[in-house]
Amino acid sequence: MSETIKALHKEAARCADEIKKYKSVHVVSHIDADGLTSAGIICTALERGGFEYTTRFVKQLDEKALDAIADENHSIVIFTDLGSGMCEQIKSRGIHAVISDHHQPQGSYQFHLNPHLFGANGSYELSGSGTTYLLASALGKNQDLSSLAIVGAVGDMQHLKMGQLVGVNREILEEGVRGGILQFQKDLTLFGKQTRPIYKLMQYSSDPYLPGLTGNEEACIEFLHSLNISLTQDEHWRRWIDLEISEKQKIVSGLIQYCLKSGMPSYKIERLVGEIYILLGEKEGTEMRDASEFSTLLNATARYDHAEIGLAVCMGNREEAYESARKLLAEHRQNLVNGLMYVKEKGITQLENIQYFDAGSEIKETIVGIIAGMSSTLVENRNLPIIAFAKAEGGTKVSARGTQDLIRRGVNLSEAMAIVSAEVGGVGGGHDIAAGATIPDGKKEEFARKLDLFIGEQLRRNAHSK
């Protein structure tokens, strides 16, 4: 066990002792896959511990959300996957809380479980769900919830930085493996191996973008035919999990050759194969079996104001809630496709150090960040952070996404969003590689110009320090 996880366990125990002083708890969490799995973990642990609990899901923990929470006079509130950026505001409202989060802390709080405070990086070494898993472990015997911890980490794309889960995430993964809950293996990384017809894996691949295959159904079908792979069996589309090992190998090497011929750089081709995470307790062929598909299923609920459905799925409902989630997933997929098409048509504006697009009201503010991330396949220059604007209630939502390379060169989007949004009267934060903000309407251009300068400054500072 690493020193970091030992220290986290110790702080988790202190937070759990505080929670145990109360009978009834209010849980506040974030509306994405990591937020839902965090809530699923803590609510299950509370249920098992005989607590009463209520839940609330928010897009952002802003002043308004905090006011509403403060007004309700809860004896104790557990913030999961958010809260660390609002320590002072939580204190000043006299909210008695435990914060279980992995975002960069701003200020300090008495009961505060966050990897950044114990020498781990919350953008890839521990997710909100992982942090909350440690808290749940201090509340009782909850090792089976390691599966949800890993789904949350994958939902926040924490496995991408090193090509696999590392740090405290990895220790949780290993705990799950020992308990027979989880399994990891090297496999094709394309999305949809449990549930989708094989050709769709290529058709919808955005990272890596497969020139000639991505977006082209016919070409994908033809590609598989040329490898002598039969696409159907008993009039059903075959899925990746239906294939023989030899067929899988044929496709992987066929794809690698195809990409080499297309002149794709090797670092991109390498992304075709990577570590994937399987939930052994879930039925094969369902979204919940694969951490990446599970996280997308959850995003499809909470980002569309149906967090209660995602939470129910996390807590084991495999009937009505799961059926509703699948319907929402079909709509989510369509929205992602439409959103990407919109960005492609509208185009992306390049400044010196950033590039941006304005989705107006065409893309929902709760998914514009996902689309900003996926649109890296559309841009000419992958070496500039991508910024997206979308209309939100009471302001403009900003989402920012960077690359590993940019982080190495000194870019920190969390810092940039926090500081530049404040300059135009907004609030922001997040992670070095993925961050967001809300700014007043009518400030987009000014914000973009200021952000451009700020990122330029981050790059220069870094270059000087070397």
Provide the 3-class DSSP secondary structure of residue 308.
helix
Stretch that binds ligand C5P, among 28-36, 67-75, 258-266, 356-364 (CB under 6 A): 28-36
Tokens 């472990």 identify what position? 137
**32 or 358: whose CB is closer to Zn ion?**
32
Residues 6 or more apart in contact with residue 417 via CB below 8 angstroms = 398, 400, 428, 429, 430, 435, 436, 437
Residue 34 near ligand C5P by CB under 6 A: yes
Number of residues that bind ligand C5P (CB under 6 A): 38
At residue 206's C-alpha, the angle toward residues 38 and 384, to 5°, is 85
Q: Contacting ligand C5P (CB under 6 A), which of 40, 105, 410, 430?
A: 430
Residues 6 or more apart in contact with residue 334 via CB below 8 angstroms = none
Q: How far is the CB of 160 from ligand C5P (least distance, A)?
A: 5
Residue 105 near ligand C5P by CB under 6 A: no
- How buried is residue 93: exposed, middle or buried, by Cβ count under 10 Å (0-12/13-18/19+)? middle
Select the residue whose beta carbon is closest to Zn ion and give its number: 34
Residue 157 near ligand C5P by CB under 6 A: yes
Residue 374 near ligand C5P by CB under 6 A: yes
Q: How far apart are CA 71 and CA 390, in angstroms?
A: 30
Enumerate the β-bridge partners of residue 279.
Answer: 182
Which of the listed partners (Zn ion, ligand C5P, none) does 215 bind, with a CB threshold of 5 to 8 Å by partner kind? Answer: none
Which of the listed partners (ligand C5P, Zn ion, none) does 217 bind, with a CB threshold of 5 to 8 Å by partner kind? Answer: none
Residue 399 near ligand C5P by CB under 6 A: yes
What mask of x and - would describe binding to ligand C5P in positions 252 to 291, judged by CB under 6 A?
----------------------------------------
Among residues 149, 217, 209, the alpha carbon closest in space to that of 181 is found at 149
Among residues 156, 103, 431, 133, the alpha carbon closest in space to that of 291 is found at 156
Q: Contacting ligand C5P (CB under 6 A), which of 436, 452, 454, 455?
A: 436
Q: How far is the CB of 166 from Zn ion (least distance, A)?
A: 16
The H or E element that residue 459 is part of is helix 444-464
Tokens 């920190």 identify what position? 412
**Range 190-249, binding ligand C5P (CB under 6 A):** 191-192, 204, 207
**238 or 303: whose CB is closer to Zn ion?**
303
Residues within the interface to Zn ion (CB under 5 A): 34, 81, 128, 156
**340 or 398: whose CB is closer to Zn ion?**
398
Q: How far is the CB of 344 from ligand C5P (least distance, A)?
A: 16
Residue 142 near ligand C5P by CB under 6 A: no
Q: Residues 25-63, buried b or exposed e (16+ Cβ, 10 A)?
A: bbbbbbbbbbbbbbbbbbbbbbeebebebebbbbbbbbe
Residue ranges with strand state E in 165-272: 182-188, 232-233, 236-237
- Paired tokens of 390: 């979308």
Site for ligand C5P, rule CB under 6 A: 30, 32, 34, 60, 81, 85, 103, 156-157, 160-161, 191-192, 204, 207, 292, 295-296, 299, 333, 336, 369-370, 373-374, 399, 401, 427-431, 433-438
